[in-house]
Amino acid sequence: MFSGTRGRQIAGRFTLITTAGFPYTEEWQALVATIEDSLRLRHHVTGTLRSLDRYLHQRTNGMIGSLSHLIRGAALEVIADGTEQITKAVLDRIPLDHAADGLIIRAGAKK
Tens of pLDDT along the chain (111 residues) come to: 677 888 888 878 877 777 789 999 999 999 999 999 999 999 999 999 999 999 999 999 999 999 999 999 999 999 999 999 999 999 999 999 766 665 444 444 444
Instruction: Report pTM.
Output: 0.75
pLDDT of residue 4: 83
Please tell me the distance from the alpha carbon of residue 99 to that of residue 111, in angstroms, as a whole number: 22
pLDDT of residue 13: 82
pLDDT of residue 81: 97
Please tell me the distance from the alpha carbon of residue 66 to that of residue 96, in angstroms, as a whole number: 7
Written as one letter, the residue type at 30 is A
Helix, strand or coil, per DSSP, at residue 21: coil
pLDDT of residue 52: 98
pLDDT of residue 101: 60
How many helices and strands (H and E) does the chain possess? 6, 2
Backbone angles phi, psi at 99, to 5 degrees: -65, -30
